[in-house]
Amino acid sequence: MILQNSLISYQIAWSWENWREEFSQKIIKNRKVISRSLINKNNIDRRYDFLTSSKYNKRIYNIKKSRLIRFNKFLGNIDRENKTFFLNHYQNMEWLLQNISQIMNRPANSKTLTFAIKMFWYWSRIVFSKTIYYPHNIAIPIDSRLKKIYETSTNKKISNKTKDKKTLESFFNNLSQKHKIPPLHLDSILRIDYRKKYISK
């Protein structure tokens, strides 16, 4: 569900915190029903109903539903009798990303795909009580926050054009290599720094 939810967590209304809280409360309220739908490997209709009634993530819900339908192929691959299924994914996040990339027919460096891996890591670290570092070759998810950090650091304005996105990716990948920090871990560090500098004031 974390991977599924991450893939439709874009163009949300208000803050990420509000959307995550809404999502969490929905799970708590309907836990038994949701568990049954996951066992049956089809919770698309329920998730779609949730999107259309959501306060914080109801934009372009038909497009997001198409993502849920496509991702349902991943649910079909889950071996629920294999207790190490998700642990194996945690131990090989690069393979997980490539698998999702093929199913979703999206580049592996797409923001929502790399964000999904990041969220899966948080869950896995808690569930398995084990810290496995992100792979170095999973790209940082480029967003407006990183764009602002780049502009502040370099005094250069940047647009949303493809070439400028590549400039951002290159900048943060170089920063990752320089400090020997996997890009997704770097993203977490920058998020804290961003909050201190731009949000807490």
Query: Contacts for 148-155 with beta carbons within 8 Å, 24 or more apart?
Result: 148/194, 148/198, 149/190, 149/193, 149/194
**Residues annotated as part of the active site:** 111, 143
Q: What is the dihedral angle through the alpha carbons of 14, 193, 159, 10, rounded to the nearest 10 degrees?
A: -30
